[in-house]
Chains A and B, each alone.
Chain A
Amino acid sequence: MGIISVENLDRLFWLGRYSERVYTSARLFADSFDRMIDMDMDNYAAFCRQLDIPNIYSSREDFCSRYISDENDPNSIYSNLMRAYDNAIVLRNEIGSEPITYIQLSVYDMKKSKVSRAPLVGLQKVEDNILAFWGIVDDMIENENIRNVIKVGKRIERLDLYGRLQVNRESIVREVHRLAGRIARTNLHYDEKNLEELKKLAEEEQIDYDRVVTLVDTLRKD
């Protein structure tokens, strides 16, 4: 279908953002979890600070359980996955049944990891499914605008997370270029001045991370 409503354009964008949020936060959690096994039991506090989420957790165990799978914690990986699912499920017409299956499988795997004492195994499956989802988006969705809008969501989310986490300059530069190339190929309304400033920031020796986050979060005009 060549026609997309404004609601569904927005959902495509957020599907991209939430799927990326699940993927990256699962990977970050895996690093943190590993440290908490026997090195730094309280690493979760630093993790929350880095991601700018409230530290509502009472202990390492509480964090490991709730951050993965608590449906009442809006910052949990599960909650973000359900937001990706809620967007995907109403986009069958735009993206097709096959891509949706990978989001659906992620939900099942996430539920399984909830009861596991080795949650990274389940989370690995979630990551695999998200990667497969992005692969199938490229492979099966014919409408270029739909593909691009999902990817812009993904790029914006990744830059937002990278900015908060203050990752290395090269990663920021790479993501800014990817975003700039992609957003120009969509019909999304965005602030061109913000984009230009973002590109300039990426050329600086010292990245102003806070400014990156602000610019990324205000890039879309809709």
Chain B
Amino acid sequence: MQNIELTKRAETVNELLARYGVKFGIYKNNEFKEQLFPFDTIPRIIRKDEFAYLEKGLKQRVMALNCFIRDIYGEKKIIRDKVVPEEFVYISSGYLAPCDGVVPPRGIYTHIAGIDLVQGRNDEWYVLEDNLRVPSGASYPMIAREICRKSSPVTFETYHVEDNRYYAKLLRRAMDYVNTGGHTVILTPGRYNAAYFEHSYFAEKTGAHLATGSELMVEDDYLYFVDYSGRREKVGAVYRRISDEYLDPMTFNEESVIGIPHIYDVYRKGHVALLNAPGNGVADDKGIYYFVPKMVRYYLGEEPILQNAPTYLPYYEEDMRYVLEHFDDLVLKDVAEAGGYGVVFADRMTAQQKADFIALLKREPRRFIAQEVIDFKDIDIVENASRVPRKADLRAFVLMADEPIVWKSGLTRFSRDPDSFIVNSSQGGGFKDTWVLSQ
């Protein structure tokens, strides 16, 4: 598929993306800037059978993660059975004690999961990270597809590609399924959030109401949207795009000014659904990631379909030995960091940096995981009119209603720097559409 007509329409596509304001926000030197998200017209293409395999594995993984969260905030069997050490759970920054014993509407915690995968040169897919709190990015390939179809209809006549624009319907379905009765709201921290475009775009496309914390209030154990005339409308589901700690200053971070006081009490009483459930961070912690294949076996009694990147926990003596012996071959990740930060490739450190890092690792073994560096399969992008290979990952989205559904697309992010593995938009990465072939 070297001659996709769409790739000749890059200028038109980018003009339309600019027209529609497809941007993300970034803070540089304490100043907020909006930037267009660089788009490359060469799509990532996934064969139908290959996607069927991914779909099966993703559903399995998200179901196991959902079971894990329910268990951790419920019976804690996986800890009692010593499959996951309790210290990994309780010292995780994502574990929230107030969530203990709270069961969300219909028992769903992971309504919208973003699972980051990479494909190795051996064509094997590896899961790099599970994102179960507020994974973002689905809006970009969704609007990009709309624009690509407009710019090059012949491309979509020629290739049989699954239409990805139904994501809004999936999202609406996930929100409606758990709605406890009332309006559906997308809660945004506001205009100056990096993903504000996505928040407002999803609100428009799903017909949900976009609100900031100041527009919502709690009274008599229910959540209300207050309109300009002072009229209150009951809210039954909140797709919140703010972090757990800022959600409710009465329960979590008391300094939060973007949350809604007492919303967590409403949720605890089952009077509103929060998507995703607070406390999910315990399952997408980089340290817990190591245990996900074990969760699949433990909860579902199945062999995991998708594999993790080979990962070591320096917390375990045996793994620490391995990490020290093979230090130069590994990538080290700080479990508390996200967005491509806190990731260091050992072979790029100076001797002094290595010594310092190893000392830190020995002092705080729980803080890091170590992974084999996967030899990613490169994907071509167009740069200065030539095709050049770059590292790329795939964020697949799994939405949960009465059953998990994998969106037949995904956000492919690529590094624009030929020497970098970091694909995050906040660090200069771009994105591609992800085609899942329908035939």
Contact = CB atoms under 8 A, between A and B. Distances in A.
Interface of A: 1, 3-9, 86, 89-90, 92-93, 96-97, 100-101, 104-105, 108, 187
A104 B15 CA distance: 12
B204 A96 contact: yes
Interface in B149-200: 183, 190-191, 196, 200
B203 A187 contact: no
Interface residues of B, number: 26
Interface stretch (B6-14, B69-77, B224-232, B335-343): B224-232
Contacts, number: 58
Nearest to A94: B210
Given A3-B227, A4-B228, A6-B227, A90 B191 contact: yes
Contacts of A105: 19
Contacts of B200: 89-90, 92-93
Given A3-B209, A108-B18, A92 B228 contact: no
A97 B228 contact: no
Interface string B192-225: 0000100011011001011110110000000001
A6 B21 contact: no
Contacts of B196: 89
A97 B147 CA distance: 13
B417 interface: no
Contacts of B225: 3, 5
B233 interface: yes
Interface of B: 18-21, 183, 190-191, 196, 200-201, 203-204, 207, 209-212, 214-215, 225-229, 231, 233
- For the complex of A and B, 9 pairs with smallest distance between CB atoms: A92-B200, A93-B210, A9-B228, A6-B228, A5-B215, A93-B203, A3-B227, A104-B21, A101-B19
A100 B200 CA distance: 12
A36 to B, nearest CB: 33
Contacts of B191: 86, 89-90
Nearest to B233: A3
B231 to A, nearest CB: 8
Nearest to B200: A92
A93 B214 CA distance: 17
B207 A1 contact: yes
Given A1-B207, A7-B215, A96-B204, A101 B21 contact: yes
